[in-house]
Amino acid sequence: METPLQKADRHIQENKQNVNERYRLRYHLMPEAGWMNDPNGFSFYGGKYHLFYQLHPYGSVWGPMHWGHATSEDLVRWEHAPVALAPDTDADGGGCFSGTAMEVEGRHVLMYTGLQLEGDGDDRKVHQVQCLAFGDGKSYEKSLQNPVIPKEKIPEGVVKADVRDPKLFERNGMYYCILGSKDLEQKGVFLLYRSADLMEWECMGTMDAADEVNGGVWECPDHFRMDGKDILLVSPQFKKPESLRYHNIHSTCARIGTLDLEKGRFLLEQEEEIDAGFDFYAPQTLEDGQGRRIMVAWMQMWERNMPSNEEKHGWAGAMTFPRILWMQDGRLHQLPVPEIESSRRNRYMAEAEFSGTWTQEPLRGNVSELLVEFETLEAEAFGVKLFAGQEEETVFRYDVKEEVLIFDRRRSGIVLRGSRKELAGSGVRRTQLKARNGKVTMRFLLDRTSVEAFLNGGEKAMTGTVYPSEGSDRMVLFAEGKVKVRLEKYDLIF
């Protein structure tokens, strides 16, 4: 008899050749077919990078969650593996939700949220419980003791139907698990658990919490230490906008401070938005064999139209290109992992002084990398138009006086609309950015229907999906006043 895992794999193999390639990316991980959202279990195991992800194999919309699985040796070229987890036990019959992975005594351990169903029909209840699976990097067996954190171990004071997304880590011989939830006042919270053996877990209580009522869960926790600080990555639902920050329906932020594992409390020192663009959610990190801290995220956003689904292309969702993280001047910085440089071809370099617009014939491409340094001479504003055509453009504009970088995709092609708090400005995002000695640098990774911008050497990042016409592939520089520019452009070949 065919198992749910076998059924999911068979369905993908039978349908992947029917996927429409029109909006497919060249070097970002996507599902072979079906729906992809949060990255899961991002880890380095057995000499390879493993990236699991939330997968609905039977349609290009969210549905009963499986864990898709892909591996890579260089973070650039990914090989799809068989589906790792499917909803097929009493503990996860409603779905295998997000979680993390780590190596324990040579085994690849996955910890995930199971959607446990109780009862039938109108009396059915749904519980979010925490489960384990063990594998060798290729196939995985669920623990017979699942759920290892059942509903009975959820403390009072939180919404018990929303406790999910375990972040598993080890410190000083003990295992710890951070879970996302919200309290009864509708404030997002993180719960901390600990265990000596991965099987018996003790709740230490609420380790961190929002200071605002927003009605949403703190989702997808990640934790790591860097430069003597503890860093929590948080994906809060419905976070209220703060000046230029947090204008997506759901947000992502890094909370930097100190985690006291004895008391089970996190002391916040500062918080910053991780990516100031449109399409970045649920980031996870790993430390690889070189000691690098690397991050990926879902390169989409909830409650937006997705053209590959609307046009029935048979797939939806993608991951960001992996980014290396480091601390500088007390802030988190990020740039693409340097492995991308092995795919550079057809280098074009130029310098110019101009006002108005400036371009050259080699400045074309939609699977490309562009690096530009602007030096303000007399300009009030300057920037770059990408994916430009007769009617379309994706604009990055720097306002010199306001010290603000503006990402405008209102004329990028297919109009992408958000909901709720996004309705007023769903096509524009802004971030504060100071020039350095009169200079601003912008680095762009373009991949057919996406752009990732890294500003001032990784000080800020802005990510967005765009859906231009096939002929819209020009790169145009512009300035309101005189600027000096130096640039490099590469085609990226895979």
Residues 18-42 as b/e (b if ≥16 CB within 10 A, e otherwise) read: ebeeebbbebbbbbbbbbbbbbbbb
Interatomic CA distance for residues 255 and 245, integer angstroms = 14
pLDDT at 280: 99
pLDDT at 325: 99
Q: Which of 38, 162, 275, 408 is catalytic?
A: 38
pLDDT at 437: 94
- The percent helix, strand, coil of the chain (3-state, each to 5) is 10, 55, 40
Closest CA to 375 of 435, 433, 422: 435
List domains and CATH numbers for the chain.
4-13+27-338 (2.115.10.20), 342-492 (2.60.120.560)
Interatomic CA distance for residues 47 and 288, integer angstroms = 9
List CB contacts of 138: < 8 A, sequence separation 6 or more: 81, 82
120 is annotated as an active-site residue: no
pTM: 0.97
3-state secondary structure of 202: strand
Two tokens, residue 470: 């096939």
pLDDT at 423: 64
State which amino acid sits at residue 83: V
Question: Residue 173: how many CB atoms within 10 A of its CB?
Answer: 6
- Residue ranges for the chain with pLDDT beneath 70: 421, 423-425
Secondary structure element (H or E) that encloses residue 310, with its range: helix 307-310
Reported as a single tens digit per residue, the pLDDT across 19-60 is: 999 999 999 999 999 999 999 999 999 999 999 999 999 999
For 163, phi then psi, to 5°, come to: -135, 110
Interatomic CA distance for residues 475 and 436, integer angstroms = 24
